[in-house]
């Protein structure tokens, strides 16, 4: 599959470059829009228009009960930047990002290398099973893990019972972020594994032959050939994981019904924005939170991208 990701090591910025061409070529090139237009039109309707609308909303303040709407300029932005709840939720997903994403990507990497190594029995079976959780809807996944996490009658309770001590409380205040991280890791390791795996599959065979002639062992092959070839895939997987972490919503909001005190209504920035809209009817402020979060995410994703392509040039 994504042999592609390996083929474009630095991702979009240094992406596809076709050769220069003269003017007959230019008029033909304009026909490229024909192919891009359908995507862009739907994209404009379902992404850009709501973003523009949200930006419009963020400049106003509306009172759901009394009084009308007033134009407040950038006041909402100033308020978000000074909002302790917003920063608490932001720091939480940042911690989540810094811990969960490396763990998940490392697991995915090891799995991909193992499955690709030809040293594994039944590697086809492993590949499909590791990928399997990605096919499970988040609703169903949270339902299953919710049961396993139950420390009254769930598997966690059985485990505590077995050990004879109360050691795990997956839904308690101290544990719950880890528990959410576990669900996300469970769901998405296979997806990332497949991205890495397919990047490994398209490494030209000659490289391995040359390495074998040089007498390189399995580990040297990994470090000298495989990991460098995975750089592009790693960058794209990291960027998508960053976006995913900052948008964390489904898993905590579904587990919230089981752990209402440990998972607050502003547990992640996205949950905060959601609850502002749907419970507080603070649509303007909610839109502002969404935009601020989007800008931060885009900046970080772009920085990762830039760093990766700069390294590439050295």
Partner 1 sequence: MSFSRPGSFSKPRKSRVLTAVMALYLVYTLIPLLWLVISATKTQPDLLSTAGLATGHSFSLLSNIGDTLTYNNGIYLRWLGNTVLYVVVGAGGATLLATAGGYGLAKYRFTGRRAVFAVVLGAIAIPGTALAVPTFLLFSKLGLANTPWAIILPSLISPFGLYLIWVYATDSVPDELLEAARIDGAGELRIFTTVTLRLLAPGIVTVALFAVVATWNNYFLPLIMLNDPGWYPLTVGLKSWNQQAIGPSAHPVYNLVVTGSLLMILPLIAAFLFLQRFWQSGLSAGSVKQ
Partner 2 sequence: MARIWRHGKVAVALATVLAAGLTACSSGSPGSTSGGATGTQDSVDAALKAGGTITYWTWTPQAQAQVDAFEKEYPNVKVNLVNPGKANDAYTKLQNAIKAGSGAPDVAQIEYKALPQFALTGALVDLGQFGFTSFETEYTTSTWNSVHVNGGLYGLPQDSGPMAMFYNKQVFDQYKLTVPKTWSEYLDAARKLHAADPTKYIAADNGDAGSTESMIWDAGGHPFTSDGKKVTINLQDEGTKKWTTLWNQLVQNKLVANITAWTDDWYKGLGNGTIATLVTGAWMPANFESSVPDGKGKWAVAPMPTYDGGQPVTAENGGSSQAVLKQSGNAALAAAFVRWLNHGNGVKVFVQQGGFPATNADLQDPSFTGKAWDYFNGQQVNQVLTAAAGTVAKGWTYLPYQLYADSIFNDTVGKAYLNSSDLNAGLLDWQKALVDYGNQQGFSVNAS
Residue (65 or 219) nearer to partner 2, CB = 65
By CB under 8 A, tell whether 178 contacts partner 2. no
Residue 299, helix vs strand vs coil: helix
Q: Which does 270 bind (CB under 5 to 8 A by kind): partner 2, partner 1, none?
A: partner 1
Q: Which does 282 bind (CB under 5 to 8 A by kind): partner 2, partner 1, none?
A: partner 2
By CB under 8 A, tell whether 153 contacts partner 2. yes
Q: Pick the stretch among 12-20, 41-49, 101-109, 225-233 that binds partner 2 (CB under 8 A).
A: 41-49
**Cα dihedral sign for 93, 275, 152, 188?**
negative
Taking each helix axis from N to C terminus, what angle separates 84-116 and 283-313, rounded to the nearest 10 degrees?
A: 40
By CB under 8 A, tell whether 73 contacts partner 2. no
Structure tokens at 88: 């608490």
Instruction: By CB under 8 A, name the one of 278, 295, 299, 307 that touches partner 2.
Output: 278
Q: Pick the stretch among 64-72, 79-87, 164-172, 269-277 that binds partner 1 (CB under 8 A).
A: 269-277
By CB under 8 A, tell whether 63 contacts partner 2. yes
| Residue 216 neighbours by CB under 8 Å, 6+ apart | 224
Instruction: By CB under 8 A, name the one of 99, 227, 240, 264 that touches partner 1.
Output: 240
CA pair distance 20, 32, nearest whole angstrom: 15
**3-state SS record for 55-76:** HHHHCEEECCCCCCEEECCCHH
For residue 145, what are the CA distances in angstroms to 75, 90, 250, 263?
A: 41, 25, 13, 16
Query: Under the rule (CB under 8 A), what is the footprint of partner 2?
Result: 37, 41, 44-45, 49, 52-53, 56-57, 60, 62-69, 71, 147, 150, 152-154, 172-173, 257-262, 264-266, 275, 278-283
């Amino acid at each position: 599959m994504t042999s592609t990701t390996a083929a474009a090591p630095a991702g979009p910025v240094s992406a596809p470059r076709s050769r220069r061409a003269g003017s007959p070529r230019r008029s033909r090139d304009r026909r490229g829009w024909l192919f891009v237009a359908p995507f862009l039109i739907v994209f404009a309707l379902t992404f850009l228009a709501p973003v523009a609308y949200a930006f419009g909303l963020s400049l106003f303040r509306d009172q759901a009960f009394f009084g009308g709407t007033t134009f407040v300029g950038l006041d909402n932005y100033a308020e978000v930047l000074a909002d302790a709840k917003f920063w608490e939720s932001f720091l939480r997903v940042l911690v989540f990002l810094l811990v969960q994403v490396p763990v998940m990507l490392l697991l995915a990497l090891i799995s991909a290398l193992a499955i690709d190594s030809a040293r594994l029995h039944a590697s086809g079976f492993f590949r499909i099973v590791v990928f399997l959780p990605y096919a499970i809807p988040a609703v169903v996944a949270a339902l299953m893990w919710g049961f396993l996490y139950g420390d009254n009658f769930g598997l966690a309770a059985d485990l505590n019972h077995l050990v004879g001590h109360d050691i795990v409380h997956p839904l308690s205040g101290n544990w719950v972020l880890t528990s959410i991280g576990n669900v996300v890791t469970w769901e998405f390791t296979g997806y990332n594994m497949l991205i890495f795996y397919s990047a490994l599959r398209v490494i030209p065979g000659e490289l391995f032959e040359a390495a074998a002639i040089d007498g390189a062992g399995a580990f040297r092959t990994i470090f000298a050939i495989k990991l460098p070839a995975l750089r592009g895939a790693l960058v794209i997987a990291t960027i998508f994981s960053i976006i995913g972490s900052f948008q964390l919503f489904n898993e905590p909001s579904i587990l919230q019904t089981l752990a209402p005190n440990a998972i607050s209504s502003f547990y992640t920035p996205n949950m905060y924005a959601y609850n502002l809209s749907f419970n507080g009817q603070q649509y303007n402020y909610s839109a502002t939170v969404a935009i601020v979060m989007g800008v931060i995410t885009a900046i970080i994703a772009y920085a990762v991208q830039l760093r990766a392509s700069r390294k590439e040039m050295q």
